[in-house]
Amino acid sequence: MTTPTAAAARKAATDIEALADALQARGDLTDPRIREALHAAPRHLFAPARGWCAPDGPGPRRVVDERTDPAGWWTAVYSDASIVTQVDDGAGDPAGGTGEATSSLSSPGAVTAFLELLAIRPGDRVLEIGTGTGWTAALMTALGADVTTIEVDPALAEQAAERLDRHGYGVEVLAQDGAAGAPGRGPFDAVHVTCGVTRVPYAWVEQTRPGGRIVAPWMPEWGDGHKLHLTVTADGDASGRLAGGASYMMLRSQRTAFHVPDGGAGVRETGTRLDPRQVAFGSYGADAAIAGLLPDVMGVPRDRDGFELELADVAGTSWARCRQSGTGEHRVLQAGPRDLWDDVADAYQRWTDWGRPDRERFGMTVGPYTQMLWLDDPANLLTA
């Protein structure tokens, strides 16, 4: 007679293969070792009993609950979907579909794509920033790594540590701010980051040996996020290229707020022929260029009986709003000491003058005091 545990294991093996096949077809999984790791660390062991399922692609967002709908829960676990496990830093209901998601079981496609970049070798010492449920730490252990993982939320860290220990994965879990890394425990061969960062903390570079790798979701103030793959050099810097899109919850210490007032004194009105929708959505290459040239400028598209692109600087001193018009002359409002729309329009034009390079032609170098984007070559730094 087949026991429930054995039946679940057999079903998991079948569903893992189907999921891996789908990820491979999409290009997110090419290394057979990672496919084996998906079997060695089954995702259902790390899934919350109740959460909010958010597919990476088409499909409805919905509550998943192992107790009330075990079949639907299982389907969500073995689909390419993230499952929100915490909202509002623990103050809200993670299955409610409201509030700011602050922790999740990441989608398999995102996880495997970053593990491909990290290229773990047996025996590697890996520092992970953002433990979450512990699934990625288990996967890296299955790949032969010695993993130290950091979770800023003490309750989540405790749950992940218990889960990893119960299922036999030897992982050190630290409850602390991941921005500082793990002083005294390096050097590491690799750093795996599962939260978005606007600036790469230099502590991660310092704690990685020369030749070691850092992979992280770079989430600049402007535009969408990017996969970032850095290699630490002998001179103490880290440098590497952007490698596709990424969207992750932010490192807590790097969250920023966006606000544009409705009006106020000192508002300047002008016009522009540059379509704000093209600036907002025209190209991931333009996103990278604008983020590199204007690292403290944020942009948010709005639909208010017509398209608007709102801009603000991180310091909160300046803002702008460009409203799309069917006439070809778009209305611009700006306030503060900086003309933010003019700055963004100039950065966009520079990207156009460079031949509209794609995102993958951009890279980043992180040093003790600077973080600079470059085009094609680390010597070709982007400067405003």
User: Where, residue-wise, is CATH 3.40.50.150 in the chain?
Assistant: 109-254
Q: Which residues pair with 362 in a beta bridge?
A: 375
The one-letter code for the residue type at 328 is G
Residue 384 CA to residue 377 CA, distance in Å, equals 17
Q: Name the DSSP letter for residue 249.
A: P
d(CA 224, CA 288): 9
Q: Is 18 left (phi over 0), alpha (psi -120 to 50) or beta?
A: alpha
pLDDT at res. 31: 97
Look at residue 1 in the predicted model and tell me its pLDDT.
29
Whole-number percent of the chain with pLDDT over 90: 91
Yes or no: say if 95 and 105 are a contact pair by the CB < 8 Å rule.
Answer: no
d(CA 25, CA 22): 5
In the CATH hierarchy, which fold is given to the domain comprising 268-353? Double Stranded RNA Binding Domain (3.30.160)
- CATH code linked to domain 109-254: 3.40.50.150
Q: Which residues lie closer than 8 Å to 162 by C-beta, 6 or more apart?
A: none
**pLDDT tens, position by position, 47-56:** 999 999 998 8
Task: Check if 82 is active-site.
Answer: no
Annotated catalytic residue within 106, 107, 239, 318: 106
Neighbours of 191 (CB within 10 A): 29
Per-residue confidence band for 261, with pLDDT thresholds at 50, 70 and 90: confident
- Stated pTM of the model: 0.93
CATH 3.30.160 in the chain is located at 268-353
Instruction: Note the pLDDT of residue 243.
Output: 95
Between 328 and 295, where is the model more confident? 295
- Express each pLDDT in 117-172 by its tens digit: 999 999 999 999 999 999 999 999 999 999 999 999 999 999 999 999 999 999 99
